[in-house]
Amino acid sequence: MKFVIYGLLGGIVGFIGMYLMLSVQVEFNFLSIAFPVNVILTSLTVLLLLYVGISIIQMRKKANAAVSRDEEDEREVWLYKKFTDTNMIAIASVIFGIAASAISLITEQDPWLVISSIIVATAAFILSIAVSSVVNLFYPDRELPSISDKDYGKKLLAASDEGERHVMLEGLYRTFNTLNATLIFALFVLIVYSLFSGVSQLFAIFVISAVIIGANAQYFLLIRNRT
Amino acid sequence: MKTRLKELRARNGLNQTELAKRAKVSRQTISLIEREEFIPSLLIAVRIARIFNEAIESVFLFEEEEIE
């Protein structure tokens, strides 16, 4: 219920915000800024990839370095935090890479930019898989699943202990609620944008609606059947 | 729930990673229990109590109103 209220509030704020924005400049043409946005996104992805690459090397070094008993916990905490930070950056790089590729393809940019964007997006995807596999270095004695395994999520959950599952549950449930509210907000933004700009966003509205319904149906059916 | 885990670890000269290995859990789980952010299952509580040669109720301390 909470997320619906937040979603509606977000929608109202979004409506007012978009109304004000569009009343100032209704005829906004993205094509005029597509090239610099594309270059910025691609460059940003490259920078994030550099961070991810350097982090992987740092984690490998740290995991293999000999430490005293006093430093053991400190190292574990460092590795855990670095791993989660790197994962977050890797996911961001994949999204920026996909966005850059989408802009270059949709707005028909120069071939060199299209190719660069796609290469960078592919590298981001590969590196994000490499980040996930680094965790096996930290815990060689644990039977953690490989990212290429079928049902990786299920297997990872099964390989985690109760404390780790507790942390994941807390994080995922909060994220689920935030995502629900944010997607409802996005729907309102797209509706208002369509109305005021005259550029139909109906396809995106259908896709987001399907994602919200699908994700919620999956969650509620899962908990409903665990009586 | 309060816990004497940190105190018992210090008394036995164990760090979190070592205790985690002995209790067959992750260091993160030990850390969560120590910070009193997570109540472990009975199985893990028994394992931890055994490592320190203590009774469960002397490692994990419940307020009277929590049990009632």
Phi/psi of residue A147, nearest 5 degrees: -60, -25
CA distance A171 to A88: 13
pLDDT in tens, A87-104: 999 999 999 999 999 999
CA distance A11 to B62: 45
Note whether B29 contacts A162, CB cutoff 8 Å: yes
Mean pLDDT of A149-155: 84
Is residue B29 within 8 angstroms of chain A, CB to CB?
yes
**Residue A113: other Cβ atoms inside 10 A:** 20
Note whether A72 contacts B18, CB cutoff 8 Å: yes
**Residue A213: other Cβ atoms inside 10 A:** 10
pLDDT at residue B6 above 60? yes
Q: Band of the pLDDT at A146, cuts 50, 70, 90?
A: confident
Q: What is the pLDDT of residue A3?
A: 53
Q: What is the pLDDT of residue A39?
A: 95
Burial call A164-181: b when 16+ CB within 10 Å, e when fewer: bebbeeeeeeeeeeeebb
Mean pLDDT of A71-80: 92
Mean pLDDT of A202-217: 96
Q: Band of the pLDDT at A1, cuts 50, 70, 90?
A: low
Contact A124, A97 (CB under 8 A): yes
Helical (H) or strand (E) element with B61: strand B60-61
Phi/psi of residue A96, nearest 5 degrees: -60, -40
Contact A59, A83 (CB under 8 A): yes
pLDDT at residue A10 above 80? no
Note whether B16 contacts A73, CB cutoff 8 Å: yes
pLDDT in tens, A160-182: 999 999 999 999 999 999 999 99
CA distance B18 to B33: 15
Contact B33, B7 (CB under 8 A): no
pLDDT at residue A151 above 90? no
CA distance B16 to B11: 13
Q: What is the mean pLDDT of chain A?
A: 88
The residue ranges of DSSP E strands in chain A, in sequence order, are none
Mean pLDDT of A31-53: 94
Here the tokens at position A9 are 């509030």
CA distance A97 to A116: 10
pLDDT at residue B9 above 90? yes
Q: Band of the pLDDT at A51, cuts 50, 70, 90?
A: very high
Q: What is the pLDDT of residue A127?
A: 93
Nearest to A161 among B16, B18, B26 (CB): B26
CA distance A122 to A98: 9
Q: Which residues pair with B61 in a beta bridge?
A: B2
Contact B42, B59 (CB under 8 A): no
Residue that wins the pLDDT comparison between B31 and A143: B31
* Closest approach of B63 to chain A, Cα-based (Å): 22
pLDDT at residue A17 above 90? no
Q: What is the pLDDT of residue A82?
A: 96
pLDDT in tens, B13-67: 999 999 999 999 999 999 999 999 999 999 999 999 999 999 999 999 988 888 8
Here the tokens at position A106 are 């949709």
